[in-house]
Structure formats: C-alpha cells, structure tokens
Chain A
C-alpha cells in the first residue's frame, strides 16, 4: 500500500542533513539520543510488522475457510490462543524492559556531564528573542550578547536558563534535547558540541504571537576561535571611521533606539531589547528571522510589524538618509 512506500521515498528526498535536526548530531547528547532513537525504531518497527502480519494472517485464514451459516461460537475452548496470549505478553514485557533500561542508561549519560570545566552561559528567554551572557574569564564580569550562541567544540557548556516573562524552551537539536525556560526556576542543561559549524536553535514552547520567529544561530567554534570571539565580544562598540556611519552613531545612540538597546561604550544604555554592541558580527537579526544586511536592518527598523507582526520592537520613522546612516553604523558594529 502506498502509505508504506511513500514515507521511505520522502525520507530520502528530504534528507537528514539539516542544521536544526536531531538526526544530524553534532554533540554528545544528541548522539546518545539518536542511538536510542535507532534502537526504538527497530524494536517498535518490528512489533508493528508483527502485528500487521498477524492481522493479515488472520484475515487471510478466514478467506480460506468457507463461511457456513452455522451458529456463532460462544466461549469456545482456546488453548492454543491462550498460550499465544501468554507468549505475546512475555514478548511485550521483554521489549518494554529493554526499552526502559536503554532509556534509563541514556538518561544517566546525559546527566553525567558534570561541571568539571563547564563553560557557564546564562540564557534568558524574552518574548521573542534570546539574551545570552558569558562570564569573562579574566574579570568575572558578564558579557552580554543576543540571539547568537557561540560554543567551543569539545567542551561542556552548562547553559543556565531563565525567563524574563513567559515559558519558552531552549532547543538546539543538533547538540542536545530541549529544556524549558520557566519563570521562577533556573533550569540547567549541559551540552557538549563536537563538530564545528553553524547550527540553529529555536524556541520550542508556545510563547505568544511570534513564537514562530524566536530562533537563534549557534556557532560551534574551535576552542581558540571561541576565545577570540569572546575577547572581541568583551570590547566596547567600535567607533566607525566613515562619516555617514558616524552620523548613524549619533542617531542610534542618542535617539529612540537608546531607550531599549545598549551599545556598550556609548550613551545607549537601554536593557529592554537585545544588546547591539556587536550586531554587525552576527549572522541574522530579529531572532533568526532575517539574514543580516543593510537592507534588512533598514526594513526591520522602519516596519518591524511587516516582518514579524506582533513584535514589540517599535517602528522608528527615519528620513531615508538617516535610515541609511543608522544601518551603516549598525553594520559596522563588528
């Protein structure tokens, strides 16, 4: 029947090499879980085939027998079937025992990444963006950024999850399973990425109008590159050389943007929105909604409701020249 062939074909078509997929593990936790997934698929698939075979056999058997108009059977003796029932129960029991044990063992492995040398990252979920804070190894101060998570490969990162408003869920499927972000608790998840590259995380608990656009980029770096990145994040905002960008700097740091955004080293000190100090070095804006570009920045500032309807980012009306200047400045904040 077509419902068996089609999924197989589709699985081949769609591919399993996504940047946001549990089937493409790039971290220890996701790898363990995928192993468990494979075991369960084999056992569950086997059971299903068995059920279908038995069903088919019982229906086929009936076709082979003539249908007399004899009286229906009331509570006939069923010794063979009774033994079959016991065997079936034993089979299910055995299968469940294997799965429960496997699940327990994988769970233990997920929990075993202790904080021996864990990199602590504090992630706070907001409607509808992610605030990230890293501890500066030298001073112990917190370095803040937004919407792009960098992790060193081969080292466990302990992500501490807090919420500023409602329940969200932090999920980077290629690296680990999800953990909900719940106001009133600080949940912790240990992730140990192994493979470098770009991945994608997305909020996985309905959190309001723009839940669909609350994603974040994840870059797994080699440890040396990660240290470089953290060092550059620590620096205050660059002062641009270009005159237009300097004009943009005045617009951004002294105008309406400053009420909600912080650009470290300038007068913009608002905490309600994402930190813009190194916006130009990120891959996307608006929590993974748009790829970073000057046009995207202008569009986002002028008409955020057209891109992400319901967003809490206000529409800032600027003259075209000012808008261009502001976008140039933001792009230069590397």
Chain B
C-alpha cells in the first residue's frame, strides 16, 4: 500500500530525495524553508493561537453580558472586544486555516512533492503573520480598532473615528488578503497543473474540488475588500470623498463593496469544510461518496451563486423592494445545493458501513449543528422577516451556527482525521469524545438561546442592557454554554499536545482511507512520495489490490516536480522546483513596511515601493536551468 514495490523493480531514490529536499538546519532552515508541510503547520498553529485569543475575547464579552448592567467592561473595552473578536475570527482564523489545511494536504492528495509555487507559500505565511502582528501588537499597545469587523463609514470616517485605529484594521485586512490571494493562486495552480497521471477532473477527490472552488472564489472576492479598505484609508488620510454624501460620495458604496466580498467569504470558509466532511464520511463509511457528480455540481453552484447574494446583508438600508425580493430568492436558492450535499453525506452513511471514530463524531456534530444554522439563514434570507431579525442576537446565533457548526466542527474533525498522517501518532479516542461532547453540547447551550434573545428584541453590539428588558436569564445560559465549550476546547488542545508523545503509533493508513495521502508514511518524508503515483480510479487505494502503480523519471538529485494537463492529467513536462530561499521573508518584510507606513503617510507608497521592488527582483532573478534531458526535457530548436 505504500507504493514501494520490490527493490529490484523500482530504483531506490529515497536517500537522495531526502538529501535534495531537506531544509537547512536550525533557524536558517526555519526562515528559508519552502516545504509546504512546514509552512502549513506553522500557519495552522498560528491560526489556532488566534482562535484561542479570539475565544478569550468571547469569554470576556459573555461574562460582561451574563447579567444586566454588569460593570466589568465599559463601552470602549467591549467595543474593542467585539471588533477584535470578529476581525480575528474572520480574517485571521477561518480563511487562513482552511488555506493552510489545503497547503498541507493538496500535494499529498495529489501524489506530488510540493506545491506549484513554494516560495509564494512562504510569502503567504509571512504576510499573514504580518497581519496578525499588526492587529495584536496594536491591541497590546491599547490602540485596538473598536468599530466592529466591518467598519461602516461615516462612523469610520475621519470626523467620527479620529486617530489610526480604523486604519490599523483596514491595513490588517490588506495583509491578510495578500496572504489569502497568494495561497489561493498557489492552490489553484497546483490543483490544475500538478495532478498525478490519470487523475482526471472526474477522479479528483472531493476535497480537491472544494479547494479549487474556494481558491477561485478567493481570487474573485478578495480584491473587493482590499479596494474598499484602501478607499477608506484614502478618505481618512488624503481627504477623498468616496463615502461622504456631502462631498458627492455614498455611504452605501462601502457596504456594497464590502459585502460583495463579505458574502463569498463565508462560503470560502464553508466550502473547504465540505471537503473535510466528504473525505471523512467516505473513509468512515467505507464506500465512495454517494452522488459524486451532484456533489461537485453543488460545490460549483454554491461557488457561483455565492457572488449573487450580498445584498441580503443590506436589507434594512432602504434599497428598492423588488431588488430585495430578488436577493431573498437567491439567498434561499443556495439552500438547494447545500441541502443536496447533506442528503449525499447521509446517503453515504446509510449505504456504507459506518465506524465511529472521533472524526465521524465531528461530522455528525456538524450535520446536527450546521443545518440549524442553514435554516436560520433561510429565515434571515427573507427580506421582510430580516427587518426584524437583522442586527439582533438572532443573526449572531445564525452566523455562529454556520461558522462554528459549518466550518470549525469539520475542521476539528479534519484535525482528528489527519493528525495521524501529520504526526505519526493517533489522538486519544476517549478524550476526543469528551472534547467533542463538551464543545458541541456547550456550543448549542451557548448559542441556541441567542435565537430567542434576538426574537425578544436584543440588538447586537451592545455592551450592556437594562434589568427590566427580561434578557438576563437567557444571557446567563448563553454564558454558561460558552464556558462549557471553552473547557472542551482546552481538552481538545491537551489531547492534541499530549498525543504527540504518548499517542499510539499510527502507521501509514490507520483509518483505511481511499486517497493518495495515505499511501506514504506518517509523517510523510520531506519529499512526500518516492515516486509519483499513477491513478486510474476515484479511490486509488481501495482499487489497487496490490501496490499502487507509480511513474518514475523525476530526478532525485535536483528538485523537480511533474506538470500535467488541466483536464485529463496527462504528463506534460518536468518543472524545476525552487530551493529554500530567504527572499519570501525579505519581500514580506518590505511589503509590511510599505503597508504599515501607508497608514501614516501616502508617501510610504512611493518610498516603500523601492525595497519591495528590490526584494521581488532578487526573488525572481532567474537561476534555474530547465530540464534538458529525458522525454519531457525542454526542446531547443
């Protein structure tokens, strides 16, 4: 099952490959690595640290709201807390962690040595780290942005939001969006051009499809938010009039541009989770996914439809009613592909032979929780009903049900599922079940009451409320639930940490998976696979009774990857893969200086461009000879 046939048939290239693909030792290796697994690991760990910090803020807010007129936090502190919580969760946790999982998994699922653009992957992480540091160092210095995770002007304009807090928020977004674009381009290119021979589009694992769609969506959606935050900085710094009505601008322009990004963003977060769930359901039901074609079409449908829904965040701003009705219909219509997917997963379990390890429990928790979020979304999709529900705790409940239930639960399941592959050990099942029950149970106790609070008139983003509003009991219940869930999170983290040393050894394929990542050792060697596997079915590891067929011919003394065609994955040529390099870090530092400086003066764009240009020139300085020998060598006429 590992693709290693008898030594006499295949050349033994493991030792030279290990030498060719290894990093420099110590700090130098840490800073120059282009190993997608190392980069993805630090990406995931940073995102989980951000999840922890954002969770602390949430606990803080819940304590403040647990009783009426609590005086733990004043309005300034609370406003900073929800702004930081939302911004961190949406820009620094949800999207980056999905990309990081893809960065780690995609080459392994495709039998490849690395991603299409390894140095770009490193650059993506350093830019993401820049965004993290920008926001959280600002918080440490007590200049936290305090206007929410979408800072509508004119409140965020120069007159009503003095100083640089709003600019810090806007520029943090620029950092994280550059990182996301870099990662998405990388993932899309890898998926389209670097698949194993024989893995046509129709044989791609569903997770690969979802990452392809999410990456393409990112490329289309993120420029909108970069544009709108730059326009905001411009309004604040150089007195443009984009968002000021008295100057000919329009406050709603911000909302349209922001939500044109904002709505696809939540699907960018959810669609990879679809991939996680599909992988887990398939493996643990011991049958290939039911309805592969409807599932792929549903993912594509969601990806396209997501761009036509953004006005449902603006039903209360007074746009023409017929337009609102159109967006109601479109927002409800997206339930059709999502609903089909739920059926396909349940059908797979129905006709398979389900086993209940922790990853499968998370899938069950996902279905039970996410569907509530989806249905509360149908309710808020109706524009007349939304006029009562929007900007209340009903929407807070809805968004947490879909983001936590729909993205975080599958993510935790994915962690449990691929942890053995990444570390070589299994997490404790018993503690995994305990963590699961605490997190899912606590989450529902915490957030279900918020539906009722919204229906009882509690608006969002208020730091306190009066004792005669009648909201005290439900708020207390919500706070208790949050604590239970947080305890579960600590158990999960402890399990992951302790299992690193104490967990039972996993072997290459502890779950009996179908996809290629299970064909290499756990953890994978630095070059992933000794030879590129050849695929002729949708479940390569299940179809091959004996060893997986492989393709030889890539050099083991140079870094080389195989490039294949887009639709049918026919091998086309060999591509030199970049050596480790310090240039991504240098370029990220130069870009960070430009971004941070441009908050304080527009001249930073001019002067800051010079080091960036220098760094990029050095980065792209050509020094890689192409393969000139062998059947796929470059032909010079």
Q: Do chains A and B touch in the complex (CB under 8 A)?
A: yes
Q: Contact residues of A with B, CB < 8 Å?
A: 1-3, 6-7, 10-11, 13-16, 18, 20-23, 30, 32-33, 36-37, 40-41, 44-45, 47-48, 51-52, 54-55, 57-59, 61-62, 65, 67-68, 71-76, 78, 81-82, 84-85, 88-89, 92-93, 96, 99-100, 102-104, 106-107, 110-111, 127, 165-167, 169, 171, 173, 176-180, 182-185, 187-188, 200, 202-212, 309-310
Which residue of the partner chain, among A85, A171, A212, contacts B462 with CB atoms under 8 Å? A212
The docked-state distance in angstroms from the alpha carbon of A210 to that of B160 is 13
The docked-state distance in angstroms from the alpha carbon of A14 to that of B11 is 73
Which residue of the partner chain, among B332, B384, B459, B463, contacts A202 with CB atoms under 8 Å? B459
The docked-state distance in angstroms from the alpha carbon of A51 to that of B372 is 10
The docked-state distance in angstroms from the alpha carbon of A32 to that of B382 is 13
Q: Is residue B387 contacting chain A, with contact meaning CB distance below 8 A?
A: yes
For this complex, 19 residue pairs linking A to B, each with C-beta atoms less than 8 Å apart, are A3-B448, A10-B477, A14-B470, A20-B456, A37-B379, A37-B455, A59-B349, A59-B364, A71-B542, A72-B286, A78-B347, A78-B351, A81-B290, A167-B155, A177-B386, A182-B318, A202-B459, A204-B459, A309-B74
Report chain B residues within 8 Å CB of A71: 542
The docked-state distance in angstroms from the alpha carbon of A171 to that of B457 is 9
Report chain A residues within 8 Å CB of B333: 96
B388 pairs with A177, CB closer than 8 A = yes
Cβ-closest chain A residue relative to B457: A20
Q: Is residue B229 contacting chain A, with contact meaning CB distance below 8 A?
A: no
A61 pairs with B350, CB closer than 8 A = yes
Which residue of the partner chain, among B155, B389, B452, contacts A14 with CB atoms under 8 Å? B452
Whole-angstrom distance between the Cβ of A160 and the nearest chain B Cβ: 11
Which residue of the partner chain, among A30, A165, A206, contacts B461 with CB atoms under 8 Å? A206
The docked-state distance in angstroms from the alpha carbon of A167 to that of B147 is 12
Number of inter-chain CB pairs below 8 Å = 289
**Contact A203 B336, CB 8 Å, known A59-B364, A72-B542:** no
Report chain B residues within 8 Å CB of A58: 346-347, 349-350, 354
Which residue of the partner chain, among B287, B321, B343, contacts A76 with CB atoms under 8 Å? B287
Q: Is residue B114 contacting chain A, with contact meaning CB distance below 8 A?
A: no
The docked-state distance in angstroms from the alpha carbon of A73 to that of B469 is 57
B387 pairs with A33, CB closer than 8 A = yes
B 245-276 binary contact with A (CB < 8 Å = 1; else 0): 11001111000000000000000000000000
A85 pairs with B444, CB closer than 8 A = no
The docked-state distance in angstroms from the alpha carbon of A81 to that of B321 is 41
Q: Is residue B28 contacting chain A, with contact meaning CB distance below 8 A?
A: no
**Contact A20 B469, CB 8 Å, known A10-B449, A48-B372:** yes
A310 pairs with B75, CB closer than 8 A = yes
**Contact A40 B457, CB 8 Å, known A93-B336, A165-B160, A167-B154:** no
Q: At the interface with chain A, which of B322-330, B559-567, B627-635?
A: B322-330
B 280-301 binary contact with A (CB < 8 Å = 1; else 0): 0000001110111010000000
A88 pairs with B339, CB closer than 8 A = yes
B368 pairs with A52, CB closer than 8 A = yes
**Contact A203 B459, CB 8 Å, known A92-B339, A166-B154, A180-B317:** yes
Report chain B residues within 8 Å CB of A209: 75-76, 79
Report chain A residues within 8 Å CB of B321: 107, 111
